[in-house]
Amino acid sequence: MGGDLTSVSLVLSGSNSVLAYSDGEIIDLLKGGHGVFNVISMGSVTADIDTSLAQEFATTETRRLAMA
């Protein structure tokens, strides 16, 4: 894996999941007969995680400074 997750889509099909690095790969999955239940753009997911981590860090840092 090890790339930029913001441009990847997570394709869910039953109990299987695949990372698609382009729209063409999603189309290839569909053409190959894979039933696709959901396609999740990881860009929004990574943005949400970044925001949550920043908020958690700020809260933890505030608590640490209050105890000092």
pLDDT number for residue 42 = 83
Question: Is the pTM value of this prediction over 0.85?
Answer: no
Domain segments of the chain as ranges: 9-67
pLDDT number for residue 56 = 92
pLDDT number for residue 3 = 66
pLDDT number for residue 52 = 93
- What tens-digit pLDDT sequence spans the chain (68 residues)? 456 777 888 888 878 888 889 889 888 888 887 776 788 888 888 888 989 999 998 888 888 888 87
Contacts of residue 5, Cβ cutoff 8 Å, sequence gap at least 6: 42, 43, 45, 46
